[in-house]
């Protein structure tokens, strides 16, 4: 996994988003964490979406979820795999100026840790097209699955293209739960406004 696509899309002289350290520096600088982190940013860009990011292999593996994650187990939320983001993006909250990639505002809508349901290699699970995991967040808890459903550009079977994010039926499930009814940042208490 590489940050090349992430960096190519952005002008770091103009956007407050972090460029990210080199993968080597991150690997040396980070002690193995007891929990793997996740974050969901509510990103009001040209179109509102929520960005789900899981800390895997030294980057934030990322999906854009237009309608946002939910605790409702009957909802199947479309998710588009997007470029890996640097770990420094984990608590990014702010305004991306007009004309820049992703222009708009983002808040840290939820954060916490995730546990792969199958111990081992979550990066390999993502590459294989299905990851089952448990979230320990402020708003999002319990079991989820994210699964690749569509072909990528040109019909490729790589991890690009459409995925589905589904809440499993468990003690944390809440029928009808609406992410838009829980709009505040867990970092600062701010809304996107
Ligand atoms: Mn986004």
Annotate 51-95 with DSSP letters as a single string.
Answer: EEEEEETTEEEEEEETT---S-TT-EEEEEEEEEE-GGGTT--EE
The whole-number pLDDT of residue 25 equals 38
Ligand 1 centroid from CA 89, angstroms: 11
Q: How confident is the model at residue 1 (pLDDT cuts 50, 70, 90)?
A: low
The whole-number pLDDT of residue 65 equals 97
Ligand 1 centroid from CA 5, angstroms: 14
- In angstroms, the CA 191 to CA 168 distance is 28
Ligand 1 centroid from CA 40, angstroms: 10
High-pLDDT (> 70) share of the chain, %: 87
Dmax over CA atoms of the chain, in Å, equals: 46
Ligand 1 centroid from CA 106, angstroms: 8
Name which residue leads in pLDDT, 119 or 109.
109
Cβ atoms within 10 Å of 167's Cβ, excluding its own = 25
Question: Span 142-161, mean pLDDT?
Answer: 75
157: pLDDT strictly greater than 90 = no
Ligand 1 centroid from CA 66, angstroms: 9
Ligand 1 centroid from CA 142, angstroms: 24
The whole-number pLDDT of residue 110 equals 95
Ligand 1 centroid from CA 51, angstroms: 5
- Which has the minimum average pLDDT: 13-27, 70-84, 97-111, 121-135? 13-27
22: pLDDT strictly greater than 80 = no
* pLDDT per residue as tens digits for the range 34-83: 458 999 999 999 999 999 999 999 999 999 999 999 999 999 999 999 99
Write down the pTM of the prediction.
0.86
103: pLDDT strictly greater than 50 = yes
Ligand 1 centroid from CA 99, angstroms: 15
Question: Span 10-14, mean pLDDT?
Answer: 89
Residues 53 and 60: beta-carbon distance below 8 Å: yes
Residues 68 and 50: beta-carbon distance below 8 Å: yes
- In angstroms, the CA 94 to CA 100 distance is 13
155: pLDDT strictly greater than 80 = no
Ligand 1 centroid from CA 49, angstroms: 6
Q: What is the mean pLDDT of the chain?
A: 88
Ligand 1 centroid from CA 28, angstroms: 28
Ligand 1 centroid from CA 35, angstroms: 24
Ligand 1 centroid from CA 50, angstroms: 7
Question: Span 153-178, mean pLDDT?
Answer: 84
The whole-number pLDDT of residue 19 equals 84
Ligand 1 centroid from CA 187, angstroms: 17
Residues 142 and 167: beta-carbon distance below 8 Å: yes
Ligand 1 centroid from CA 45, angstroms: 7
Question: Span 174-182, mean pLDDT?
Answer: 96
């Amino acid at each position: 996994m590489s940050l090349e696509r992430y960096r190519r899309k952005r002008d770091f002289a103009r956007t407050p988003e972090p460029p990210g350290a080199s993968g080597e520096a991150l690997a040396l600088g980070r002690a193995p964490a007891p929990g793997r982190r996740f974050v969901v940013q509510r990103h009001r860009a040209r179109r509102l979406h929520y960005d789900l990011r899981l800390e895997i292999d030294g980057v934030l593996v990322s999906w854009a979820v237009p309608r946002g994650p939910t605790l409702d187990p009957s909802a199947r939320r479309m998710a588009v795999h997007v470029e890996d983001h640097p770990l420094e993006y984990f608590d990014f909250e702010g305004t991306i100026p007009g004309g820049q990639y992703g222009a708009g505002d983002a808040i840290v809508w939820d954060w916490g840790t995730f546990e792969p349901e199958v111990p081992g290699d979550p990066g390999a699970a993502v590459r294989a097209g299905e990851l089952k995991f448990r979230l320990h967040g402020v708003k999002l808890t319990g079991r989820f699955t994210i699964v690749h459903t569509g072909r990528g550009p040109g019909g490729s079977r790589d991890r690009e293209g459409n995925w589905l994010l589904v809440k499993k039926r468990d003690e944390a499930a809440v029928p009808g739960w609406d992410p838009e009814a829980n709009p505040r940042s867990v970092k600062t208490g701010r809304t996107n406004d």
